[in-house]
């Protein structure tokens, strides 16, 4: 999965800073964690809209535990306005090992979506597949 044309990912703090990123890197994923980019102290207080915007501007697909990103209007708006590519866990009650297993099980589809699916989108990642999530209605 490595190489110049490989998808690059940004890992939200909810995914953890060690187990999931280390497991994905071992499988050849190119990624940066929130802690690596901003440090622990800054990342704890950083608004979701800010890191979503920056990751999107850098051309990174986002990995997050929080599927609410598609349902909260202000976050859905930044996803749309920044042409974000977001992959979110479909369950918030999931452990690090379970998140890693889901991502690795779906890695070919995730990489294909990250490289070929036009943004914006939020894709839910469950145990067996990924599927586009409906974005919150945006206020104009």
* Angle, helix 73-81 to helix 48-57, in steps of 10 degrees: 10
pLDDT at position 82: 95
Reported as a single tens digit per residue, the pLDDT across 20-60 is 999 999 999 999 999 999 999 998 889 999 999 999 999 99
Which residue in 125, 18, 127, 17 sits closest to 61, CA to CA?
125
**What top-level class would CATH report for the domain 8-132?**
alpha beta
Reported as a single tens digit per residue, the pLDDT across 77-105 is 999 999 999 999 998 899 999 999 999 99
Annotated domain spans of the chain: 8-132
């Amino acid at each position: 999965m490595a190489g110049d044309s490989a998808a690059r990912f940004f890992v939200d703090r909810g995914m953890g800073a060690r187990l999931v990123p280390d497991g994905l890197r071992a499988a050849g994923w190119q990624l940066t964690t929130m802690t690596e980019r901003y440090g622990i102290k800054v990342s704890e207080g950083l608004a979701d809209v800010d890191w979503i915007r920056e990751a999107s501007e850098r051309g990174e697909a986002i990995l997050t535990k929080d599927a609410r990103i598609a349902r909260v209007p202000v976050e859905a708006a930044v996803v749309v306005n920044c042409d974000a590519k977001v992959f979110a866990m479909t369950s918030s009650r999931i452990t690090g090992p379970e998140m890693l297993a889901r991502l690795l099980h779906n890695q070919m589809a995730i990489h294909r979506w990250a490289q070929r699916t036009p943004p914006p989108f939020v894709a839910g990642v469950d145990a067996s597949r990924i599927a586009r999530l409906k974005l919150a209605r945006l206020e104009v």
